[in-house]
Amino acid sequence: MRGQGFAVVVTPQNPIKRWMLISLGIVCLVLGIIGVVLPLLPTTPFVLLASACFMRSSPRLNQKLLSHPIFGPIIEDWRDTRGVKRSVKRKAYWLILFSFALSIALAPINWVRLLLVAIMAILLLWLSRLPEPAE
């Protein structure tokens, strides 16, 4: 069933565990949204973690996240193929370059600029190595 995009949903019987997972999912989703504009905070891992938390605690919240026009296809691609579409990669490259260029320009200390350049290079290399599913 994995290739069809289905996942087994297990809602915990313990209400405390359920609410902890929902809370963690919300925090991860907020961090992922903030990561869209902050260069050092990644978006995709937080959104994937939020989906995993919601999958185990609230099928309704997970379905809302999966039906989101931006985050839903990314989550489904990752779940089904462990890859990222070329169009998403292209957008990510531009956002990474723009946000890091802005951060480097605003950094007051040279060693911080060098660190940002190194992090940017590692991030771009990592992103380029992610597999691309067939479109």
Residue with tokens 């313990």: 14
pTM of the model: 0.62
- How many other C-beta atoms are found inside a 10 Å radius of the C-beta of residue 3? 7
* CA distance linking residue 125 with residue 48, whole number of Å: 20
E strand map for the chain: none
Q: CA of 122: how far to CAs of 22, 91, 128, in Å?
A: 32, 17, 10
pLDDT of 1 = 38
pLDDT of 46 = 86
* CA distance linking residue 18 with residue 11, whole number of Å: 7
Domain assignments of the chain as residue spans, ordered by start: 2-81, 86-129
Q: Which two tokens stand for residue 116?
A: 């940002």
Give 28-37 pLDDT, tens digit per residue: 999 888 887 7
Q: CA of 70: how far to CAs of 28, 75, 92, 117, in Å?
A: 16, 9, 12, 28
Give 63-100 pLDDT, tens digit per residue: 999 999 988 887 888 888 887 778 878 888 888 888 88
* CA distance linking residue 21 with residue 2, whole number of Å: 23
Check: CB of residue 27 under 8 Å from CB of residue 46.
no
